[in-house]
Amino acid sequence: MSMGAEVFKKAQCITCHAGDAYTNNRIMRAQDIGTEPARAKAFRRTQHLMGEPEFYSPDTPVPLPPDAKAVKVPTNGIDAEQIKLGFGHEPTAGGYKVKGLIGLRWSAPYLHDGGVAVGPNVSQAGVPATLMKGIRPDPYNSLKAMIDRKLRQQVLEANLQDKRMRDTHVTGQGHEFWVDESSGFTPEQQDALVHYLLNLKMK
């Protein structure tokens, strides 16, 4: 675990995946992480439906009386840009919240589109070769595809060749923070990082 923790820091994963649950709880711009953008702007049409947040005053009885009084909800300290990113409201293109890393052993496939999936055999790359065939994605191999550009390329190609994946915007693209030999890491360091991620617990 110690080598994995060192690689986690050296690869700068901790820049976003920090804190007790390994997330900074921020919404990142979709274009900054390069993931499939369709879901990031899924709520864009709600922009013209939004108004100032209001709620009934705390002393309002239930059932609500006809003259129930609404009060403004304080928004001091809430980052307006984060709200726009979360709903994909203009002028942003939307974003994705930084995922906490607790429970990765049970949450494959990865990324917000669920596109990074690899089976127990690394030749089973992509959603068409795993979930679409009733094969559960392997957490170790799927996490490896998150940080190994060659394995990820196999995932991308498999997903993009399947019309069902294209139609539903499941690509497995983006989050290109590589921990592989091309980035100066050894296979042992890569393996240590994957095992470290699979065994994280709340701080």
| pLDDT tens digits, 44-66 | 999 999 989 999 999 999 999 99
Q: Which of 136, 147, 132, 142 is nearest to 179 (CA)?
A: 147
90 and 105 belong to one structural domain:
no
- For residue 190, give the H/E element and its range: helix 187-198
Q: Is residue 176 domain-shared with residue 108, that is, in the same domain?
A: yes
Tell me whether the omega of the peptide bond preceding residue 109 falls within 30 degrees of 0, making it cis.
Answer: yes
Cα–Cα dist 83/89, whole Å: 8
Name the β-bridge partners of 95.
29
Question: What does the pLDDT read at residue 96?
Answer: 97
Reported as half-sphere exposure (CB side, CA atoms, 13 A), residue 58 has a value of 1
Residues 173 and 159 in one domain: yes
Query: Which residue shows structure tokens 């091309």?
Result: 182
Residues 116 and 181 in one domain: yes
The answer to whether residue 1 scores a pLDDT higher than 90 is no
Q: Does pLDDT of 203 surpass 80?
A: no
Count structural domains, the chain: 2
Residue 7 sits in which domain range?
2-25+99-198
Do 90 and 132 lie in a common domain? no
Question: pLDDT digit string (tens) for 159-172?
Answer: 999 999 999 999 99
Residues 80 and 162 in one domain: no
Digit-coded pLDDT (tens) for 103-161: 999 999 999 999 999 999 999 999 999 999 999 999 999 999 999 999 999 999 999 99
Residues 106 and 148 placed together within one structural domain of the fold: yes
Q: What is the mean pLDDT of the chain?
A: 96
